[in-house]
Amino acid sequence: MGKYIVRRLLQMIPVVLGATFIIFAMVFALPGDPTAGKCGERPCSPEFVAKFREEHNLNDPLPVQYGKYLGKFVQGDLGTNYYGIPVKDDLAKRYTITGRLALMAIAFEAIIGILAGVLAGVRKGRFIDNLVTVSTLFVISIPVFVIGVLLQYLFGIKWGLFPATVPSLEASTWSLVLPAFVLGSLSIAYVARLTRTNLVENLRADYVRTAAAKGLTKSRAVGVHTLRNSLIPVVTFIGADFGGLLGGAIVTERIFNIQGVGGYIWKGINSRDGVAVVSAVTVLVIVYLLVNLLVDLLYGVLDPRISHD
Amino acid sequence: MRGTTRTVAVAGISAAALLLAGCGGGGDEGGSTDSGAAAKTGGAITVRGCNPENPLIAGNTSETCGGNVLDVITAKLVKYNVDTAAPENDIAESIETSDNQNFTVKLKKDYKFHDGTVVKAKNFVDAWNYTAYGPNAQLGSYFFEPIEGYADLQSEDPDGDGPQKAPTPKAKELTGLKVVDDTTFTIKTTEKVSNLPVRLGYTAFSPQPDAFFADPKAFGDKPIAAGPYKVDSWTKNAEIKLSKFADYSGARKGNLDNITFKIYQDSNAAYADVQANQLDVTDEVPASAQIDDKYKTDLPDRNLQKPVGVIQTITTAPAKVDPNYGPEIRKAISMAINREAIIKAIFNGTREPATGWVSPVVDGYKADVCGEFCKYDPAKAKEQLAKAGGFKGGKITLSYNADASHKEWTEATCNSIKQALGVDCVATPVVDFSTFRTLIHDRKMKGMFRTGWQMDYPSIENFLAPLYGTGASSNDGDFSDPAFDAKLKEAAAATDAAASNKLYQEAEGIIAKDMATIPLWYSTTTMGWSDKVTNVKVTPFGVPDYAGISLK
């Protein structure tokens, strides 16, 4: 087990290096000069451009730029973005808030999604099953910004049950409930459907019949034996989804004014702010890899047949 | 100018009714004109802000996010009247000249910076020298171009962006600025500038305290200025807290004790917060709330619309880049654009068709300079095209930056041109604003492209000289007419403001003859506020008059 983890961690190094270089090259391959839009419709003065290019190493060839960046990156210095704000401080704050949001969304997914899936699975073909199937279909078919704006209007503005937006400073967990629910809504539907399908499939398996035959109660047969097996694809989905929620929360973040990672990357790309984009995405890659490792380890817990030795 | 990526992008989104009639009396606040004395003082509010792109240094801010904050924390020599945009003395006791070239500025004695030091003539001269000095790379540097000695503070990089460093400029100080005593200094301009006093109200002309020069970088995080409010703290990406400056001795003191700029990335979120009464003022009403004037029912009696000094135009590529868009062709195209219909269909009837090249909010505006060429008339347009020898370039292109909502109106404009002239017209997206501007700046953009201009200071001159003067900094179409240049010079020399404006109007008439660019429409700004506040007004720059806002 320990050996397995060490091996996986070592494998991450080339993946991270490769990913950063590709992102770095891609950001710099984008057309448009970073200084072109900085002074409005008026072109920037040559002095401004020269100082700007000098400060951000833009005059070096790409591999040199990358080398300089990497050298600092290894020492934990992520540099400053084009607005002179240290990327590290920015990212720390933004990953904290987006991370909280994503974790809460995952909690919604896991709790509501699995519960609905199990209910629908064990009562296959009955009312609750149809209700879950139809309502999840409904959620999946609506774009997330519609759900977001609608819930914001109803709960935030009309009824005033939740804050309409999230305060930028010291965002309370309470103010994040609504955005997290919106962010997770699509995945709740997927998790419910995934759980239901797997459960229905596994309920027909031989070992479930055996469990019933040896006199186990239904709740134990379903809860312990069937569900554990059925959750493997669900855990895979949730794991992959966590990374996706971190980078992909941009729509939800804009609606609820959360200064998160998605908006940071979007803005960075728009202003050709290579250093900011690469650092933000690199962190994202690392999170993805770690979550993936965690998911792989969870397989072993859920199904002892999958061993990592 | 104060329009960066964001402003320009927003200028395309935020459309609002331009009601010239409502200009003088303010928006829905009706008759409340100068209610400074009657307004309640004290209290705290939260207003919409956005992320300043640069440290808060008056000479280095060219965008609205930082500009809005600087506007309320700085005091300049003159201040623009909120309602009329006319310049009024603030720190200046008097600005006198007899020849439009040598100005004597006398300061009032009792102005103080937020750190308690007195505002002296030296603070102006030092700050202006710093901003103008090329190697300091300040974004507001170009404002000092008219002052004598400016050229010696700049240096060209001998090989563009190459390995060689630009040489150090010849001088470090503007020869045109001289401190006479603590409260007097003189300004000498290279050429005659009739509207210099008007320009001096722009943020770039703010004085800087001695503390600034010690460490400009750290200063930008917590600036010290002489305005009615001072910065208490700036938490990046979250909020900027201001409080009232007790020692401000100007005429228009702030009403509120505290103003907090809460930073939003999206105007929809700010608007939602205003509706929920969690935010007090938003200076941007999102496009979604402008459809069918929805904001008027969402925020009854808590909204305002006012024209601002922004004009949208279509510029054609210089003749050496694309020879197919000569003056006569431009006139035909202009007459083929159904401005009213596009404004109605795309902007919900909330813009004013342009009848010239100057925004109606400025001193010296004259209506209908463009005349028949800015009026939609498909028959005449076709006739004009035939007279000009027809369009030889195959199809007309209208380029826009695709990262803001310009697609709809450019396509509608092209459709209008296509139907009227019978020449194919294609709205061509360019991936984003920075690529778009690079293409235009490098003179690689062919055909027509969208351009916008937000005034730096409320003067007719600002809509002409920087845009259409030969070799001017924002002359994207390389327009050049010696008669126009001569007229600008003449207008700058006129000592009487009215005479000067008249000459500028004549200059505008000259660019009308050659249709330097195709004027489209004038922009407006729309704002909304919570039911907690009152006395919300907007300056001709489209910035809320924060100091005038008060609680109910």
Contact A259 B166 (CB under 8 A): no
Instruction: Please give chain B's pLDDT, 552 residues, in tens.
Output: 443 333 333 333 333 333 333 333 333 333 334 444 467 888 999 999 988 877 899 988 877 888 899 999 999 999 998 888 888 999 999 999 999 999 999 999 989 999 999 999 999 999 999 999 988 888 888 889 999 999 999 876 555 544 556 678 888 999 999 999 999 999 999 999 988 999 999 999 999 999 999 988 889 889 999 999 999 999 888 899 999 999 998 888 899 999 999 998 888 899 999 999 999 999 988 888 888 888 999 999 999 988 888 999 999 999 999 999 999 999 999 999 999 999 988 888 778 899 999 999 888 899 999 999 999 999 999 999 999 999 988 899 999 988 778 899 999 999 999 999 999 999 999 987 878 888 898 899 999 999 988 888 889 999 999 899 998 878 999 999 999 999 999 999 888 888 999 999 999 999 999 999 999 999 888 999 999 999 999 988 888 999 999 998
Domain presence at residue B29: no
Same-domain status, B273 and B246: yes
What pLDDT is attached to residue A309? 61
State the nearest Cα–Cα gap between A65 and chain B, in angstroms.
15
Q: Do residues B407 and B505 both lie within one domain?
A: yes
Residues B68 and B178: their CA atoms lie apart, in Å, by 30
Same domain? B194 vs B92 = yes
B410 with B499, same domain: the answer is yes
Does the residue B24 lie in any domain?
no
User: DSSP string spanning chain A?
Assistant: -HHHHHHHHHHHHHHHHHHHHHHHHHHHHSSS-TTTTTTTTSPPPHHHHHHHHHHTTTTS-HHHHHHHHHHHHHTT---B-TTS-BHHHHHHHHHHHHHHHHHHHHHHIIIIIHHHHHHHHHTTTSHHHHHHHHHHHHHHHS-HHHHHHHHIIIIIIIS-SS-SS--SSS--HHHHHHHHHHHHHHHHHHHHHHHHHHHHHHHTSHHHHHHHHTT--HHHIIIIIIHHHHHHHHHHHHHHHHHHHHHHTHHHHHHTT---HHHHHHHHHHTT-HHHHHHHHHHHHHHHHHHHHHHHHHHHHH-TTS---
Give a yes or no: residue B30 inside a domain. Answer: no
Quick check: is B6 in a domain?
no
- B543 in any annotated domain: yes
| Residue B462 touches partner A, C-beta closer than 8 Å | no
- Those residues with Cβ within 8 angstroms of residue B523's Cβ, 6 or more apart along the chain or in another chain: B11, B14, B15, B18, B307, B308, B310, B311, B312, B351, B452
B262 with B324, same domain: the answer is no
**ipTM strictly over 0.90?**
no
Are A164 and B239 inside 8 Å of each other by CB? no
> Do B64 and B89 reside in the same domain of the chain?
no
Among residues B251, B258, B463, the alpha carbon closest in space to that of B354 is found at B463
Tell me, what DSSP letter sits at residue B38?
A: T
Chain A nearest C-alpha distance from B124 (Å)? 22
- Contact in structure between B127 and B208 (CB atoms under 8 Å): yes
Determine the structural domain holding residue B61 and report its residue range. Answer: 39-73+227-302+530-551
Indicate if B59 and B127 belong to the same structural domain: no
CA of B166 vs chain A CAs: smallest distance (Å): 8
Minimum distance, in Å, between the CA of residue A275 and any CA atom of chain B: 16
pLDDT at residue A39 in the model? 64
Closest CA to B77 of B189, B226, B219: B226
Report the CATH number that the domain containing residue B512 is assigned in CATH: 3.10.105.10
Cβ count within 10 A of residue B218: 11
Q: Do B140 and B50 fall within a single domain?
A: no
Select the residue of B4, B154, B451 nearest A38 (Cβ to Cβ): B4
- pLDDT tens string A127-186: 999 999 999 999 999 998 999 999 999 998 888 889 888 887 778 899 999 999 999 999
Task: Count residue pairs from A and B with Cβ separation < 8 A.
Answer: 160
Asked whether residue B148 falls in the same domain as residue B172, the answer is: yes
Low-confidence stretches of chain A (pLDDT < 50) are none
CB pair distance less than 8 Å for B3 and A90:
no
Q: Which residues contact B416 (CB under 8 A, 6 or more apart)?
A: B336, B337, B338, B341, B342, B376
pLDDT at site B28:
37
Q: Which residues of B425-452 are buried (b: 16+ CB within 10 A; e: fewer)?
A: bebbebebbbbbbbbbbeeebbbbbbbb
Q: Are residues B242 and B109 in the same domain?
A: no
Domain count, chain B: 3
Instruction: Say if B7 falls within a structural domain.
Output: no
Nearest to B1 among A42, A59, A254 (CB): A42
- The reply to whether B13 falls in a domain is no
Question: What CATH number does residue B257 fall under?
Answer: 3.40.190.10
Q: Say if residue B244 is in the same domain as residue B323.
A: no
Mutate to test the interface with A, among B47, B240, B268 (most CBs of A within 10 A): B268
CATH number at residue B91: 3.90.76.10
Domains along chain A with CATH numbers: 88-270 (1.10.3720.10)
pTM, rounded to two decimals: 0.80
Cross-chain Cβ contact A149/B451 below 8 Å: no
Q: Residues B32, B552: contact at Cβ < 8 Å?
A: no
Please indicate whether, in this complex, the C-beta atoms of A40 and B432 are within 8 angstroms of each other: no
Residue B329 lies in a domain: yes
Same domain, B315 and B298: no
